[in-house]
Amino acid sequence: MVIDLKKCVGCMACTIACKTTNQTRPGIFWNIVKDLEVGKYPSVRRFFLPTLCMHCENAPCIEVCPTRASYRQDDGIVVIDYDNCVGCKSCIENCPYGARYFNGDPDGYFGDQLTTSEKIGYRQHKLGVVEKCNFCIDRLKQGKEPACVQTCVGKARYFGDLDDPKSEVSKRIRSKHGFQLHKECGTNPSVYYLPE
């Protein structure tokens, strides 16, 4: 995935699209837009940094998972097998990008009285396990783009095959000097950012 920081307007439509598609519980955000400030007074500026699971090639979460519930698929997507996760939470604090959340609270947005939508949506989530973005794997199987990409108002997100040098994402990374977040961590993320 490629995210063009110049085009992100911070509307958080991607966060809402992710929430409605994946029906995550309160406090769990597989995709979130951080509202950051940089600079020194008076040259301070504000910018938006959309973050999600970076699907790293050298994912620390996979290395530290005691049950091997976290693993990388052949297509490069890092997924969690909820049937194997014990909820030890060590992956949460090992992910440099803060992409993982513990699903431990059974309440919905209105307390313990779940709405019909929540009752249906929460069936796909197990309590007591760790969750994160999976690039909307079910939508990918249907030939669709991830919900955040499809819904982005500023068309700031691009999804494609990084291994294919002719793909749009590869071309944009090359032509616009795409960079990875916190490259110094040595994780080789699959999400690239285009500079502001």
Partner 1 sequence: MASNFIRSVGQILRSTIYQNEGVTIMTIEKQNSFGGLIAIDLFLGGAGAGIFFISFIMDLMNRFQNITKIGAITGLILVLMGTLILFFDLGSKSRLYRLFINPSSWVTRGTFFITGFVIFGIAYSVFSWSLFGWTLLDKTTLLGKVVGGIAAFFSFMTMLYTGMLFSTMKRIPIWNTPILPLLFFFSSLYTAMAFLLLIGGLLVGIPIEDLHVLSMIEITFILLQLLLLGVFLWASGYNTTTTAESIRLLKKPLFNIGVIIVGLIIPLGLLIYYNVVDNGSMLTILLAALLLIEGGFLGRYCIIKAGIRFPLHTV
> DSSP state, 111?
B
Q: Coil, strand or helix: which one is 54? A: coil
106 binds partner 1 (CB under 8 A): no
137: enclosing H helix or E strand: helix 137-141
149 binds partner 1 (CB under 8 A): no
Q: Which two tokens stand for residue 120?
A: 């249906």
Q: In 3D, which of 188, 154, 169, 193 has the Cα closest to residue 12?
A: 154
CB of 143 to partner 1, least distance (A): 30
164 binds partner 1 (CB under 8 A): no
The 16-45 site mask, x for binding partner 1 (CB under 8 A), equals ---x------xx-x--x-xxxxxxx---x-
10 binds partner 1 (CB under 8 A): no
Closest CB to partner 1 among 116 and 142? 116
Q: Measured between alpha carbons, how far is residue 31 from residues 39, 45, 88, 101 in Å?
A: 25, 23, 22, 11
- Partnered with residue 4 across adjacent β-strands are 194
Closest CB to partner 1 among 140 and 176? 176
Residue 69 Rama label (left phi>0; alpha psi -120 to 50; beta): alpha
For residue 175, give every residue at least 6 positions away whose Cβ sits within 8 Å of its Cβ, in sequence order, or none. none
The 53-92 site mask, x for binding partner 1 (CB under 8 A), equals -------x--xxxxxxx-------------xxxxxxxx-x
CB of 164 to partner 1, least distance (A): 26
Radius of gyration of the chain measured on its C-alpha atoms? 17
Q: List residues near partner 1 by CB under 8 A.
A: 5, 12, 15, 19, 26-27, 29, 32, 34-40, 44, 47, 49, 51, 60, 63-69, 83-90, 92-98, 102-104, 109-110, 126-130, 179, 181-182, 185, 193, 195
